[in-house]
A and B are shown apart, each in its own frame.
Chain A
Amino acid sequence: MINLEIPRKMAPAVKQAQAVANGVLRPISRTYDRFEHTRPKELDMLGAVVDGLDAAGAGGSGAKGVRREAPKSGEVRNGTNLSTVLSIMEVSYGDVGLVLALPRQGLGNAAVASVANDEQLARFGHLWAAMAITEPGCGSDSAAIRTTATKDGDEYVLNGEKIYVTAGERCEAVVVWASLDPGLGRAAIKPFVVEKGTPGFTVARLEEKLGIRASDTATLILDDVRVPASNLLGDPEVKADKSFAGVMQTFDNTRPLVAGMAVGVARAALEEATRLLAGAGVTVDYDAAPHAQPAAAAELLALEADYESAYLLTLRAAWMADNGQPNSLEASMAKAKAGRTATDVALRCLALVGSLAYGEDLLLEKWARDAKILDIFEGTQQIQKLIIARRLLGKSSAELR
């Protein structure tokens, strides 16, 4: 039965996330944008609240909500993937930089939730985990990872440099992607949980960024870092046919989350522009044709339409995950559309409001800066298009590069 409304049972979680967005995040939004690299202490308490929600089974409020459950046949489920993405939208509407700085809600936590076995989940599930893939010589091309992991008895020894690690300084553990044998390409790349404080594991520096300044972005050095063999997430065997399965499985689950962040930022900008324009006497009339209303109203309508498209594509990807349907294609569509829409909507809302919105009195200029990362990390716009196109056209990564 086709219905694209949010079920009532998810209303409390959404309401809670809204309260966090408006009551906790918005009031400190500008402060931590200005004071980059200052740890937002207010978030420690919030992280504890989110943990409490998870423990109470109200779940799906955080990154751990992406763990997949086997679907019951014939029964439509609205589960943790949907509720998680809804909550992410709401808190990102508050401030996406602060959301990325939320303890224990890192993408590393999503990776652990997605691919860890039960024993690993027990060991690492409570840690704030960052995700480290990118290296100075490899961005979107993850197969070019040069960080190595060498088996030595019951341990792996890791060596390399990771950059652009979100929450890399403040986290308690990092999911480090390293190659068991760089000569074997993608198949040999595996994720390892490396806890902070492990000898040889250091933070080299922090980035100064265009936006999401509340979130720390670190360069990490691994110099003969030893971890137990059981810190490898997933299958330790190098199988050519199952190449990269772990990375991909993680991304299938986390792309809708990032899309949800983009949807949240887009809505923040759209609502603010709508409010400000209403104060100036311009409101959208949904029944009137675009040419029968002010140009600013027609522009808002156009932006809201793209927002709606991104919002629904994101919900679809999450809904499919809840119902055990493969959603790699749909997750990439959501990420591609939401990423470009957030940037476009924020920039155009700023321009609609004008020079007032370019200044720091309002948050529009901040959202316009924050939004851009959402079209870059967790797979750029171009990477999403490659994934979508390869799937539609039946092409391999060797054919369509």
Chain B
Amino acid sequence: MTTLTTRPTATSRSARRDPMTIALRGLTRLAQASVLDRWGLRGRAERTAFHATRVGMGAAARASRTFAKGSGPATPQRQSTGGGADLFDLTPSEEQQMLAEVVREFAAEQVRPAADDADRKHATPEGLVAAAAELGMWQLGVPESLGGLTAERSVVSGVLVSEALAHGDLGLAVACLAPGAVATALGLWGSADQQATYLPAFVGDTPPTAALALTEPVVLFDVLAPATKAVRTADGWRLDGVKSLVPNAATCELFVVGATVEGEGGGPALFVVESATAGLTVEDEPAMGLRGAQTGRLRLDGVVVPATSRLDGTEGAAAAYRECVRLSRLAWASLAVGTCQAVLDYVVPYVNDRVAFGEPISHRQAVAFTVADIATELAGIRLTVLRAAGRLDRGLDAAREVALARRLASHHGMQIGSDGVQLLGGHGYVREHPVERWYRDLRAVGVMEGVVLV
């Protein structure tokens, strides 16, 4: 049990404010091998034992932490959105380039090497998520006054981080980013009290595992009309329903779940649910891919939460929910870009090295043209994602752009995953090469809702 009340000191906050400092802080921490060793080695044995006991049975959700109720100022803290020059420009800012570089290194050195094992075991390596947290990834969406890294919110930065991480592995990227999505949700739509209660933990020394659970195991699932119900009670809400494919559900300390509000106008809304709440059970839910995210199913049976649990945002709970769905879809599209880039980077040397009929198979148009298509479609997805992100950073509506990015990432992203396997032939179909895992992971894009946010 940990009660988190500590807040960063004024000096540490101001040192964190400068984006250059963020990136340097990340680099420094990466260079400190001891950090990674510490996290990388801890708890592997316990994790395996825990995983073995929970498979196949429902387990009470972990109740390792109580969140001390906090009360905040009269109005919630929000990050500002930037303006920027009135120029078409494809150059990330210097800070964004450094941030992406730090995450790329992390993805190459820590994520990719751990991916195969995590996929086999359907388990997130114990230290990985904590190491990601130490890089500051979860704090991008936390208002600066609450200990976050930046005063200005940048969806583009979120997109670049997601892409860089998913170049390492999509499943592990989801595991690393999932708790940050909850912090971002609280930053964007939380009340002052909700922020005061939960956000200090995310900027503390041992940030909580958390997940944003919107997806449901329902045929033709419509995220805008979740089957999970929220009914008003005398002093709060009662939640009933099932959420599926929740990353690290078994170890989560905090959930944000989507539910349809019964009565009073209705509509979908987001609710904060602490894992210690009675009526919450978790079971293992392995899937085709995202196995490194250790997905689980979350059942809410008469879960009673306080009246203050709903995230009402600034324009109402339904508007917050809709914005959440959009930001999540954009995040998934960004992840697809990263994994598709991994596919391209993998197949280029492969088709150049692989010899058939006396020459490299890349000398055949059927092979070479497939590589050209992968690169072209990938570039198109990336630009569409960036346009949506850039619009959001300017405070422009991006419903259209997000929908188009999602379609491209789902359709062409999956085609790229399929082509990646095809180009390797039989070798692509076996675990010897990562393309078979990327194929499985990329199907998640367009299927999954929630979980990640930019």
* CB atoms of A2 and B91 under 8 A apart: yes
**B51 CB-CB contact with A under 8 Å:** no
Q: Given the complex of chains A and B, what is the CA–CA distance between A212 and B32 in angstroms? A: 64
Smallest Cβ-Cβ distance to A10: which chain B residue? B88
Judged by DSSP, the binding face of A is helix
* Distance to closest chain A CB from B227 (angstroms): 14
Q: Given the complex of chains A and B, what is the CA–CA distance between A382 and B411 in angstroms? A: 22
**B13 CB-CB contact with A under 8 Å:** no
**B262 CB-CB contact with A under 8 Å:** no
* CB atoms of B407 and A385 under 8 A apart: no
Q: Given the complex of chains A and B, what is the CA–CA distance between A151 and B362 in angstroms? A: 42
Chain B residues within 8 Å of chain A by Cβ, number: 59
* CB atoms of B411 and A1 under 8 A apart: no
Q: Given the complex of chains A and B, what is the CA–CA distance between A125 and B222 in angstroms? A: 59
A395 cross-chain contacts in B, Cβ below 8 A: 362-363, 368
B156 cross-chain contacts in A, Cβ below 8 A: 2
Smallest Cβ-Cβ distance to A325: which chain B residue? B90
Q: Given the complex of chains A and B, what is the CA–CA distance between A195 and B366 in angstroms? A: 43
* CB atoms of A76 and B372 under 8 A apart: no
* CB atoms of A393 and B352 under 8 A apart: yes
Smallest Cβ-Cβ distance to B221: which chain A residue? A289
* CB atoms of A4 and B88 under 8 A apart: yes
* Distance to closest chain A CB from B300 (angstroms): 23
* CB atoms of A389 and B381 under 8 A apart: no
**A305 CB-CB contact with B under 8 Å:** yes
Q: Given the complex of chains A and B, what is the CA–CA distance between A291 and B371 in angstroms? A: 30
**A288 CB-CB contact with B under 8 Å:** yes
B389 cross-chain contacts in A, Cβ below 8 A: 2
Smallest Cβ-Cβ distance to B412: which chain A residue? A309
Contact of B383 among A4, A292, A394 (CB under 8 A): A4
* CB atoms of A386 and B85 under 8 A apart: no
Surface stretch bound by A, among B53-61, B120-128, B241-249, B393-401: B393-401
* CB atoms of B93 and A313 under 8 A apart: no
Instruction: Name B1-37 residues within 8 Å CB distance of A.
Output: none
A385 cross-chain contacts in B, Cβ below 8 A: 365, 368-369, 372-373
Q: Given the complex of chains A and B, what is the CA–CA distance between A8 and B326 in angstroms? A: 27
A333 cross-chain contacts in B, Cβ below 8 A: 375-376, 379
**B390 CB-CB contact with A under 8 Å:** yes
Contact of B348 among A310, A337, A393 (CB under 8 A): A393
**A78 CB-CB contact with B under 8 Å:** yes
* CB atoms of A310 and B380 under 8 A apart: yes
Contact of A315 among B84, B88, B377, B399 (CB under 8 A): B88
B43 cross-chain contacts in A, Cβ below 8 A: none
**A301 CB-CB contact with B under 8 Å:** yes
**B440 CB-CB contact with A under 8 Å:** no
Q: Given the complex of chains A and B, what is the CA–CA distance between A290 and B411 in angstroms? A: 12
Contact with A along B122-154 (1 / 0, CB 8 A): 000000000000000000000000000000000
Known A-B contacts A2-B389, A301-B407; the reply to A393 vs B92 at CB < 8 A is no
B408 cross-chain contacts in A, Cβ below 8 A: 305-306, 308-309
Known A-B contacts A393-B352, A393-B362; the reply to A5 vs B391 at CB < 8 A is yes
Known A-B contacts A82-B88, A385-B368; the reply to A289 vs B223 at CB < 8 A is yes
* CB atoms of A316 and B403 under 8 A apart: no
* CB atoms of B368 and A386 under 8 A apart: yes
**A7 CB-CB contact with B under 8 Å:** yes
Contact of A392 among B89, B222, B348 (CB under 8 A): B348
**A24 CB-CB contact with B under 8 Å:** no
* CB atoms of A389 and B394 under 8 A apart: no
B231 cross-chain contacts in A, Cβ below 8 A: none
Contact of A316 among B369, B371, B383, B412 (CB under 8 A): B383
A400 cross-chain contacts in B, Cβ below 8 A: 362-363, 365, 368
A8 cross-chain contacts in B, Cβ below 8 A: 86
A291 cross-chain contacts in B, Cβ below 8 A: 220
**A336 CB-CB contact with B under 8 Å:** yes
Q: Given the complex of chains A and B, what is the CA–CA distance between A36 and B363 in angstroms? A: 43
Q: Given the complex of chains A and B, what is the CA–CA distance between A301 and B371 in angstroms? A: 26
* CB atoms of B348 and A288 under 8 A apart: no
**A319 CB-CB contact with B under 8 Å:** yes
Smallest Cβ-Cβ distance to A7: which chain B residue? B86
B222 cross-chain contacts in A, Cβ below 8 A: 288-289, 292
**A241 CB-CB contact with B under 8 Å:** no
* Distance to closest chain A CB from B385 (angstroms): 10
Q: Given the complex of chains A and B, what is the CA–CA distance between A313 and B386 in angstroms? A: 12
* Distance to closest chain A CB from B409 (angstroms): 9
**B325 CB-CB contact with A under 8 Å:** yes
* Distance to closest chain B CB from A268 (angstroms): 18
A284 cross-chain contacts in B, Cβ below 8 A: 403
Smallest Cβ-Cβ distance to A395: which chain B residue? B362
**B214 CB-CB contact with A under 8 Å:** no
**B232 CB-CB contact with A under 8 Å:** no
**B62 CB-CB contact with A under 8 Å:** no
Instruction: Name B393-432 residues within 8 Å CB distance of A.
Output: 393-394, 396, 399-405, 407-408, 411-412
* Distance to closest chain A CB from B222 (angstroms): 5
* Distance to closest chain B CB from A274 (angstroms): 12
Smallest Cβ-Cβ distance to B326: which chain A residue? A287
**A138 CB-CB contact with B under 8 Å:** no
B390 cross-chain contacts in A, Cβ below 8 A: 2-5
Interface centre among B221, B322, B377, B402 (most CB of A within 10 A): B377
Interface centre among A2, A312, A385 (most CB of B within 10 A): A2
* CB atoms of A3 and B88 under 8 A apart: yes
* CB atoms of A76 and B404 under 8 A apart: no
Instruction: Name A69-113 residues within 8 Å CB distance of B.
Output: 76, 78, 82
Q: Given the complex of chains A and B, what is the CA–CA distance between A6 and B405 in angstroms? A: 18
**B224 CB-CB contact with A under 8 Å:** yes
* Distance to closest chain A CB from B450 (angstroms): 13
**B87 CB-CB contact with A under 8 Å:** yes
Q: Given the complex of chains A and B, what is the CA–CA distance between A395 and B349 in angstroms? A: 12
Q: Given the complex of chains A and B, what is the CA–CA distance between A310 and B412 in angstroms? A: 13
Given A4-B383, A292-B220, A400-B362, 15 more contacts at CB 8 Å?
Answer: A2-B93, A2-B389, A2-B390, A3-B85, A76-B85, A286-B403, A287-B224, A288-B222, A289-B221, A308-B404, A309-B381, A316-B379, A389-B362, A393-B348, A400-B368
Give B contacts to A, CB under 8 Å. 84-93, 96, 156, 220-224, 322, 325-326, 344, 348, 351-352, 362-363, 365, 368-369, 371-373, 375-377, 379-381, 383-384, 386-387, 389-391, 393-394, 396, 399-405, 407-408, 411-412
6 residue pairs bridging A and B, Cβ less than 8 Å apart: A9-B86, A287-B322, A306-B380, A309-B384, A400-B363, A401-B365
